[in-house]
Structure 1
Amino acid sequence: MRVYGTIFLTLMAFVVFVGVKYVNKFASLFLACVILSILSIYAGSIKSIFQPPWFPICLLGNRTLANGHFDLCAKTMNINNVTVATKLTELFCGSSNFSSGSCDDYFLSNNISEISGIPGAASGILSNNLWSTYLEKSDILEKSNIHSSEVLGSKSKLHLYVLADITTSFTVLVGIFFPSVTGIMAGSNRSGDLRDAQKAIPVGTILAIITTSLIYFSTVILFGACVEGVVLRDKFGDAVNKNLVVGTLSWPSPWVIVIGSFFSTCGAGLQSLTGAPRLLQAIAKDNLIPFLRVFGHGKANGEPTWALLLTALIAELGILIASLDMVAPILSMFFLMCYLFVNLACAVQTLLRTPNWRPRFKYYHWALSFLGMSICLALMFISSWYYALVAMLIAGVIYKYIEYQGAEKEWGDGIRGLSLSAARYALLRLEEGPPHTKNWRPQLLVLLKLDEDLHVKYPRLLTFASQLKAGKGLTIIGSAIQGNFLESYGEVQAADQTIKNMMEIEKVKGFCQVVVANKIREGISHLIQSCGLGGMKHNTVMLGWPYGWRQSEDPRSWKTFIETVRCTTAAHLALMVPKNVSFYPSNHERYLDGNIDVWWIVHDGGMLMLLPFLLKQHKVWKKCRMRIFTVAQMDDNSIQMKKDLAIFLYHLRIDAEVEVVEMHNSDISAYTYERTLMMEQRSQMLRQIRLTKTERDRETWNSSRC
């Protein structure tokens, strides 16, 4: 059969290769044969009401016997008035002698009966066939309404019965049957050959679905009303000597069904060999998947020669497998995946209300598309959950590959529209109230200085910002250019691209903002005031330590740094000024040992402890130890302060060493001393009012934010 299948596949591929116009000519002939075969089934079903065909099957008790092993459905027969054993008896007893002890117990305990496999539509067997009868592999096909002995019989005689070759269930049968109803995209796949595709595809597709659905439903009911259940479940026709059940039921001749089935199969094959290569060629021409680019080429008239060759090779794999039960679930997965994404795209575009979503077919609703998507997803897991996972994994890999290659067409990417709507919704939610203390994280505005060639002067600022990304906060890289915006727009674009390239090198995920102002400090002030959007605004400003201001020709060059500090203070933002940032480690270095020292002289709310903690989450600083230094006067209880600070860090779940440095009054001011000891005094007050541990932890953290 593999040889015959390969020959017919080669012939069909040759017809498609010659040209689509020949496929259309053959299609009319094939369609006529299919219609005649369908009409013959309806005619045969009507005829079976008055004159059902004789289609005998042999039962032993309620078990169905394989008809290929014997010629007479009886235990004995009369020859010349002499009762002799039949071949069936010899098969179950090993000889023609009933008294032999080798006879099968089930054979001796049950009678043999012969019934019609097609009793006709008036027989009333529809009520028996309404209920499902799933079988395990190697189960015997049994007729439910016939009494039989409960004797099991010999296992060595099982080959004489009709057995189930696979374990069946609703999910397995859905996966096998579904590929027969997957032609709804045939018109879309050949849209390039239609005169008015926008009008023809909706009308043709809907009419095709309605027609085929009526035929499928009606034939299922007719088969259930005319044919015995054991015959319907006899996959290879063992009980009826390999005869065609539907061919026997049809009128006027079984050959109508044979010819119709053959041409129907050829028509479906030609349709697939015509549509699939064109779809593959369109994908290749769009350059969505670069390694498929070769399949975008074809003949001078546009016929997809290379795509047809690949399609034929894939079809040949199915022929070589030679098992419909294995191939059908795989086909179902990819058809369902296709329909799932079509429904998903329609639902998402409708919900997003994107201006470019203007379908000509107006009778649709997003809920219907979402329902279709859900049904497709459910059917994928119902038919075969492991195939479904593999198909989804393949689809995900292809999507990420396309995303990695950066393929974009003029019709855009719907995921970006979804991301835009989600971002808008999230920003509006952030506006509903002030951020909670537990959600605080450093949202950085990194102010970069550019040289005369618009290159980043201190790229390690970006490196340091990327090493703080454990906070998962906002990062905005800003820079100011002196000049007039109308004249400096090109410089802005060049600087923006330079900064983005540097951000990619340093693996900084964030946004870039370059402004033009008459003075640099004015541009920096604009950045501090206006960067961010809604609730996504920076709360920390990072700028480099000023170098060379003493040697600058401009005697007021220092004023830029001072004004930046003042603007940051006026905006109530935190300020970070990394000194000697050029000596900071790159992302490729590793500190195997060392300390991160924090001098907690003025109680700043805990930010000085949070930043080293975030640094330690990065691989560069992961091995470093964190040390907290605080200041006390000579006559203070340094031991108690160290103990209280250690408890405070424990409650904050920060692993650090604590050191208390004692200084004279002349070295520190009273204000610094007072602010440093505020934590100890507040902890003592909380113990006095006897708050619970949870409340003390919350109050301690709130005090650290003051």
Structure 2
Amino acid sequence: MAEGKKFGTFEGVFTPSILTILGVIMYMRLGWVVGNAGLLGAIIIIVLAHVIAVTTGLSVSSIATDKKIGAGGIYYVLSRSMGIPIGGSIGIALYVGTSLSIALYLIGFAESFNDYFGFGTAINDIRLTGTLALVSLTILALISTSLALKTQFLILSAIIISLIAIFFGTSNFEPQTVQLLAPEHAVSMEVVFAIFFPAVTGFTAGIAMSGDLKDPKSSIPKGTLMAIGVGLVVYISLAVFLANKVNSEVLISDYNILMKIALFSPAVVAGIWGATLSSAIGGILGGPRILQAMSIDKITPKIFGKGNGKNNEPVNALLLVFIIAQAGILIGELDVIARVVSMFYLTAYGFINISYFLESWANPDFQPSFKIKRWIGLLGFMACFGVMFKLDTLAMMGALIVIGGLYFWLQRKEVKLQTNDVWQSVWENVVNKGLKKIDDQEVEKSNWNPNIILFSGQSDHQSYLLQLGKTVSGRTGIVTNFKLILDTSNLQPLKKSEQIVKSEEFKELGIFGRQIKVSNIYDGITTIASAFGFSGVEPNTIMMGWPKGLENSKEYSKMTQTLLYLDYNLLYLDFDKKAKFGNYDTVDFWWRETDSKNAEMMLNIARFIIASPRWNNTSIRVLFVNNNNVDKALIHAKIYKLVEDLRVNVEIIIINNAVEQKPFYNLIEEKSKATGLTIIGIPNYQIEKQAEFVLRTNHLFETIGSTLLVKASNNFNVLDLDFVNR
């Protein structure tokens, strides 16, 4: 198929943009702006409005020279940089806004046209003229986009002639002195700004034609910035001219002053009609292309993605634009429509600016040929939303609610493209800088910030170990579950992509999953413990199931020695398959004089447990075994001081054991039979006595419910639980 006609910078970008910029506001409201704000105030308003236009124009121009720009204008730019949900939500809003703006332009044309020829100016008369104009322009666009664009050259000529007629005209209303500041009883500057601002929102008309350009990467920056620049010069020049030629009272009261001072008034009338019609043509040409691009990306129904002819003209999308524009003409409530449309445009411009800022800050692959300072995008973003807040907070909230709803709908729809969006780069950049910040800090003995390596194994109760692992890691802790695949034949290791394990349970709990091949389970655990992790988030805790039946295993003993040498916190869970964790309502902490570091670790675990929704109604008991007949009140006071920071009701139980000297595990059997989770510290012992310790512990587990054994690393502080020498 032969490629259709493509347009250059002047015809495809500059002309539709400048014709939308030099519109009804310039002819019908600029004098009113100067009269109310004074010359200096008017210039400030014009410059402030153009800050948004210039920053957005610069931002979109920079993005356009980095990425391949396809059909769809702003939608295409946003969807390829910030992702489909944001690009699509802004694209839909901008499409509706563009369609409704056609109604605004044509009703403005109808009012001027009917008044000039003496036709009726009632609402139905305006609707009739506006409808006829809409039908005519739609037919023109259906016949040929090229013809519609060439028609804009005639309109541009009419505008230029009208400006010449104005600047060479004479005035009978010259002021004695130029009014530099706002006169008394003038409209507030905020209202004046709100009336003027739509004048600078038309520069994206050329961007919407991106799919019909010969070289969009070159044409969009040149054409857009040229249009904004010319518009700025014209508006400031005309403001200075009016302030010197017409007194403020006349400027405020007479909207048609330009026709009265012009050298040839019909030229101004032609300019007004040309401005309104050209703006409408810009919407009729640009709006359908936004919808067509979104339909191609499967955001909107695919019927609107179909085009006709060698140029793939978006006929179906154009017909929908016609329907929306006609609805706007028939509704007739243009004040309400106008402020909502303005908010949609400002929102789109704001997201263009933040898109550029995030791309340039976070994306290492962002290499535009048109380079600007990063802060320009941030300035434009803040200016857009600052102006929206000042102009109409209610309309701003309405626009954001609509766009937010579209965003979440597209997220759920899970539309995906074969392209990366900037958010991945943003998160990577944030993580990178965060890790460097954390790594620069000196390691101190402080509250536990858990980073857990979890070996949950494969069993029916694996999910409980996963749940508890996430619970004791807290809200910000990291849990990585490793699946060890035993392969004694020394085959090739798994590919990096195959080592990542994803499941719904991992996703729900916020656990990372990995799997590797190992020739020996215990060697695999020590290798992972020795090598896994990176600066800033080094693993500090190993968690696994309790090793029943391994009391005589030399490999297990060697692994334990290595983990202790590496100074990990160790967590071993013996899970009661029958009782599970009970009703998640009771936790016992067992302390003894030798549990100095384990006790502080238990306190940290307690903080995380009570913060978990599953354990939020938990009753915690701290049971201390008093083997030396120390005064119970003294022990109670010391323990109370340690646990009061938990800010929950903790029951402290002192068990006097000086006379009976019952074994520690026997006391646990008596007191914690019905406890949902019992937490016990692992004492210091010689590794050769490990078998004895495991056997005694196995016996204990036969008589109580689920139990977590903890062994704290040297990073924990020593809590003084020795009351003998006081």
CA-CA distance at 1:536 after TM superposition:
0.7
The whole-number CA distance in structure 2 between the counterparts of 1:480 and 1:460 is 19
Q: Does 1:356 align with 2:359?
A: no
The whole-number CA distance in structure 2 between the counterparts of 1:520 and 1:606 is 31
Q: Equivalent residues in 2 for 1:30-179 (5 A)?
A: 30-44=155-169, 47-48=170-171, 52=172, 119-120=173-174, 123-125=175-177, 127-128=178-179, 130-132=181-183, 135=186, 168-179=187-198
The C-alpha deviation readout for 1:148-197, integer Å capped at 9, x for no partner, is xxxxxxxxxxxxxxxxxxxx422222222222212222222112211122
Q: Does 1:7 align with 2:132?
A: yes
> Please, which of 445, 459, 463 is the counterpart of residue 459 of structure 1?
463
The C-alpha deviation readout for 1:98-136, integer Å capped at 9, x for no partner, is xxxxxxxxxxxxxxxxxxxxx14xx435x236425555x
Q: Does 1:487 align with 2:492?
A: yes
The whole-number CA distance in structure 1 between the counterparts of 2:416 and 2:576 is 39
Structure 2 equivalent of residue 155 of structure 1: none
Structure 2 equivalent of residue 223 of structure 1: 242
Any idea what SS the aligned residue of 1:477 has? strand
The C-alpha deviation readout for 1:455-481, integer Å capped at 9, x for no partner, is x87222212223335442122122222
Structure 1 equivalent of residue 625 of structure 2: 631
> Please, which of 502, 507, 513 is the counterpart of residue 505 of structure 2?
502
Q: Equivalent residues in 2 for 1:533-682 (5 A)?
A: 533-546=534-547, 558=553, 561-580=556-575, 582=577, 591=583, 594-601=585-592, 602-603=595-596, 604-633=598-627, 635-651=629-645, 653-663=647-657, 664=659, 666-667=661-662
Higher RCO (C-alpha 8 Å, min separation 6): 2
The whole-number CA distance in structure 2 between the counterparts of 1:292 and 1:549 is 63
Residue type of the alignment partner of 1:473: G
**Kept in 1: contact 2:484–2:518 (CA 8 A):** yes
> Please, which of 251, 266, 291 is the counterpart of residue 255 of structure 1?
266
**Kept in 2: contact 1:441–1:471 (CA 8 A):** no
Any idea what SS the aligned residue of 1:190 has? helix
CA-CA distance at 1:266 after TM superposition:
0.9
Structure of larger gyration radius: 1
- Using the aligned pairs only, state the percent identity: 23
Q: Equivalent residues in 2 for 1:322-333 (5 A)?
A: 322=332, 324-333=334-343
Residue type of the alignment partner of 2:572: V
The whole-number CA distance in structure 2 between the counterparts of 1:128 and 1:480 is 82
The whole-number CA distance in structure 2 between the counterparts of 1:635 and 1:347 is 68
The C-alpha deviation readout for 1:222-275, integer Å capped at 9, x for no partner, is 22223332332237x6xxxxxx322222122x3222222112211111111211
Residue type of the alignment partner of 2:650: A
The whole-number CA distance in structure 2 between the counterparts of 1:223 and 1:323 is 31
Q: Does 1:183 align with 2:202?
A: yes
**Kept in 2: contact 1:460–1:582 (CA 8 A):** no
**Kept in 2: contact 1:532–1:538 (CA 8 A):** yes
Structure 1 equivalent of residue 74 of structure 2: none
CA-CA distance at 1:703 after TM superposition:
4.1
**Kept in 2: contact 1:632–1:661 (CA 8 A):** yes
**Kept in 1: contact 2:344–2:399 (CA 8 A):** yes
Q: Equivalent residues in 2 for 1:140-539 (5 A)?
A: 168-234=187-253, 244-252=256-264, 254-287=265-298, 290-291=299-300, 293-299=302-308, 301=310, 302-320=312-330, 322=332, 324-352=334-362, 354-362=363-371, 364-450=372-458, 458-468=462-472, 470-483=474-487, 487-489=492-494, 496-497=500-501, 499-504=502-507, 507-539=508-540
The C-alpha deviation readout for 1:440-497, integer Å capped at 9, x for no partner, is 232221113248xxxx87222212223335442122122222237863527x866733
5+ residue gaps, structure 1, are: 53-118, 136-167, 238-243, 551-555, 677-700
The whole-number CA distance in structure 2 between the counterparts of 1:18 and 1:285 is 23
Any idea what SS the aligned residue of 1:468 has? helix
Structure 1's 569 and 667: CA in aligned 2 closer, same or farther, altered over 3 A? farther
**Kept in 1: contact 2:585–2:618 (CA 8 A):** yes
The C-alpha deviation readout for 1:522-561, integer Å capped at 9, x for no partner, is 22112212222212122221111245769xxxxx8x5565
Structure 1's 20 and 468: CA in aligned 2 closer, same or farther, altered over 3 A? farther
The C-alpha deviation readout for 1:62-107, integer Å capped at 9, x for no partner, is xxxxxxxxxxxxxxxxxxxxxxxxxxxxxxxxxxxxxxxxxxxxxx
CA-CA distance at 1:566 after TM superposition:
3.1
The C-alpha deviation readout for 1:352-397, integer Å capped at 9, x for no partner, is 3x442221224x2223333333332332223223333443444444
Residue type of the alignment partner of 1:489: L
Any idea what SS the aligned residue of 1:281 has? helix
The whole-number CA distance in structure 1 between the counterparts of 2:662 and 2:220 is 86
CA-CA distance at 1:349 after TM superposition:
2.6
Structure 1's 310 and 525: CA in aligned 2 closer, same or farther, altered over 3 A? farther
CA-CA distance at 1:426 after TM superposition:
0.9
Range with greater deviation from structure 2 (223-232 or 311-320): 311-320
Structure 1 equivalent of residue 670 of structure 2: none
Structure 1's 215 and 705: CA in aligned 2 closer, same or farther, altered over 3 A? farther
Structure 1's 513 and 394: CA in aligned 2 closer, same or farther, altered over 3 A? same
Structure 1's 323 and 473: CA in aligned 2 closer, same or farther, altered over 3 A? same
**Kept in 2: contact 1:444–1:475 (CA 8 A):** yes
Residue type of the alignment partner of 1:464: L
Structure 1's 233 and 324: CA in aligned 2 closer, same or farther, altered over 3 A? farther
CA-CA distance at 1:12 after TM superposition:
2.1
Residue type of the alignment partner of 2:492: E
Structure 1's 355 and 633: CA in aligned 2 closer, same or farther, altered over 3 A? closer
The whole-number CA distance in structure 2 between the counterparts of 1:355 and 1:566 is 44
**Kept in 2: contact 1:496–1:513 (CA 8 A):** yes
The whole-number CA distance in structure 2 between the counterparts of 1:172 and 1:485 is 77
Residue type of the alignment partner of 1:305: V
CA-CA distance at 1:582 after TM superposition:
4.6
Structure 1's 358 and 176: CA in aligned 2 closer, same or farther, altered over 3 A? same
Structure 1's 659 and 294: CA in aligned 2 closer, same or farther, altered over 3 A? farther
Structure 1 equivalent of residue 37 of structure 2: none
Structure 1's 652 and 462: CA in aligned 2 closer, same or farther, altered over 3 A? closer
CA-CA distance at 1:26 after TM superposition:
1.9
**Kept in 2: contact 1:281–1:297 (CA 8 A):** yes
Structure 2 equivalent of residue 16 of structure 1: 141
Residue type of the alignment partner of 1:131: A
5+ residue gaps, structure 2, are: 1-125, 668-679, 682-715, 722-726
The whole-number CA distance in structure 2 between the counterparts of 1:321 and 1:382 is 27
- What is the TM-score when the length of structure 2 is the normalising length? 0.68
The whole-number CA distance in structure 1 between the counterparts of 2:347 and 2:180 is 32
Structure 1's 459 and 374: CA in aligned 2 closer, same or farther, altered over 3 A? same
CA-CA distance at 1:37 after TM superposition:
1.7
Range with greater deviation from structure 2 (29-38 or 621-630): 29-38
